[in-house]
Amino acid sequence: MKLSTNWLKEIAPGIKIDNKLIESLTSLGLEVSSVSKTKKDTIIDLDITPNRPDCLSVYGVARDLFSIYGKTIKLPKQKKIAIKKSQLPLAKINNIISPIYSCLTIENIDNKVKTPQYIKRRLNDYGIASNNIIVDVLNYVMIEIGQPMHAFDSDKVNGKLSVRFGKKNETFHALDGQKYLLNNNIPVVVDSNRVQAIAGVIGGEDSSVQINTKNIIIECAYFNPEFVRLASKKYRLQTDASYRFERGVDPLMHSFAITRVLSLLSEHTTLHKANYFQKENKLKINNKIKINIEQFEKILGQQIPKTKIIQILKRLNFHPAIFKNFITVIVPSYRFDIENEYDLIEELARVVGYDYFKPITLPATTSIDIGNNDFLEKYLSFFIVRGYHETVSFSFLPKNSQNSFMQSSNIITIKNPISEDKSELRTSLIHSLIKTYKYNFSRQIHDIKIFETGKIYTNHKSNPMNEVNTISGLISGKNYDSNLKVDTKNISFFDLKGDLSSIFPDLKFVPSSKIKTLNNSCQALIFQNKKYIGYCGEISNEVYRENSIKNNVYIFELFADDIVMKSSIIYKKISLFPRVKRDLTILVDDNIAGRDIIDIIERESFKYMINIKINDIFYNTKEFGEDIKSVSIEFCFQDANGTLTDNIVNKQMDLIFHHLAKCFKAKLRK
Partner 1 sequence: MQKKYSLLISTLKDNLAECDSLNKLALIKSQYLGKQGKLTLEFGGIKDSKLSERKELGQVLNNIKIQINSLIDKKSESLANTNKKGQLNFFDVTLPGRNISSGSRHPISITINTITKILNNYGFTSVSGPEIEDEFYNFEALNIPASHPARDMHDTFYVTDNKLLRTHTSSVQIHTMLTNKPPLRIMTPGKVYRRDSDPTHSPMFHQIEGLCIDKDINFCQLKGLLINFIEQFFSKKMEIRFRPSYFPFTEPSAEIDIKFNNKWLEVLGCGIVHPNVLKNVKINHKQYTGFAFGLGIERLAMLKYGITDLRIFYDNDISFLSQFSVLK
User: What x/- string results for residues 616 through 635 when contact with partner 1 is judged by CB under 8 A?
Assistant: --------------------
Q: Answer whether 133's CB lies under 8 Å from 271's CB.
A: no
Residues 290-349 that bind partner 1 (CB under 8 A): 298-302, 340, 342-343, 345-346, 349
- Residue from 282, 350, 595, 659 touching partner 1 (CB under 8 A): that is 350
User: What x/- string results for residues 412 through 451 when contact with partner 1 is judged by CB under 8 A?
Assistant: xxxxxxxx--x--x----------x--xx--x-x-xxxx-
For partner 1, the closer CB: 180 or 441: 441
- Residue from 383, 509, 635, 637 touching partner 1 (CB under 8 A): that is 383
Is 76 a binding residue for partner 1 by CB under 8 A? The answer is: no
Least separation in angstroms between residue 403's CB and partner 1 is 18
Is 275 a binding residue for partner 1 by CB under 8 A? The answer is: no
- Residue from 26, 94, 95, 328 touching partner 1 (CB under 8 A): that is 26
Tell me whether strands 202-203 and 216-222 are parallel, antiparallel or unpaired. Answer: unpaired
For partner 1, the closer CB: 377 or 626: 377
Least separation in angstroms between residue 545's CB and partner 1 is 23
Give every CB contact of residue 114 below 8 A, 6+ residues apart in sequence.
133
Residue 638 backbone zone (phi > 0: left; psi -120 to 50: alpha; other: beta) = beta
For partner 1, the closer CB: 80 or 485: 485
For partner 1, the closer CB: 451 or 608: 451
- Residue from 19, 409, 462, 483 touching partner 1 (CB under 8 A): that is 483
For partner 1, the closer CB: 50 or 505: 50
Residues 386-415 that bind partner 1 (CB under 8 A): 386-396, 412-415
Question: What H or E segment, with its residue span, contains residue 44?
Answer: strand 42-47
For partner 1, the closer CB: 48 or 274: 48
Residues 34-53 that bind partner 1 (CB under 8 A): 49-52
Helix (H, G, I), strand (E, B) or coil at 568: coil
Tell me whether strands 609-619 and 628-637 are parallel, antiparallel or unpaired. Answer: antiparallel
Give every CB contact of residue 228 below 8 A, 6+ residues apart in sequence.
187, 199, 200, 201, 242, 245, 246
Report the distance separating Cα 475 and Cα 521, nearest Å.
18
- Residue from 319, 455, 595, 659 touching partner 1 (CB under 8 A): that is 455
Is 363 a binding residue for partner 1 by CB under 8 A? The answer is: yes
User: What x/- string results for residues 183 through 222 when contact with partner 1 is judged by CB under 8 A?
Assistant: ----------------------------------------
Give every CB contact of residue 391 below 8 A, 6+ residues apart in sequence.
432, 433, 436, 450, 451, 452
From residue 289, give the alpha-carbon distance in Å to each of 286, 332, 392, 618: 10, 11, 49, 88
Q: Site for partner 1 (CB under 8 A): how many residues?
A: 93
User: What x/- string results for residues 551 through 570 when contact with partner 1 is judged by CB under 8 A?
Assistant: --------------------
Report the distance separating Cα 442 and Cα 404, nearest Å.
25
Report the distance separating Cα 83 and Cα 259, nearest Å.
10
For partner 1, the closer CB: 367 or 521: 367
Question: What H or E segment, with its residue span, contains residue 195?
Answer: strand 195-198
Q: Determine the number of helices (DSSP H) and then strands (DSSP E) in the chain.
A: 18, 31
Least separation in angstroms between residue 451's CB and partner 1 is 8
Q: Answer whether 258's CB lies under 8 Å from 150's CB.
A: no
Least separation in angstroms between residue 329's CB and partner 1 is 16
Least separation in angstroms between residue 588's CB and partner 1 is 34
Tell me whether strands 531-539 and 518-528 are parallel, antiparallel or unpaired. Answer: antiparallel
Residues 221-260 that bind partner 1 (CB under 8 A): 225-226, 229-230, 246-247
Is 545 a binding residue for partner 1 by CB under 8 A? The answer is: no
Least separation in angstroms between residue 125's CB and partner 1 is 24
Helix (H, G, I), strand (E, B) or coil at 321: strand
Is 169 a binding residue for partner 1 by CB under 8 A? The answer is: no
- Residue from 3, 11, 12, 28 touching partner 1 (CB under 8 A): that is 28
Burial (CB count <10 Å: 0-12, 13-18, 19+), residue 18: exposed
Q: What is the chain's alpha carbon radius of gyration, rounded to the nearest angstrom?
A: 40
Alpha-carbon torsion angle 474, 613, 510, 564, nearest 10: -70
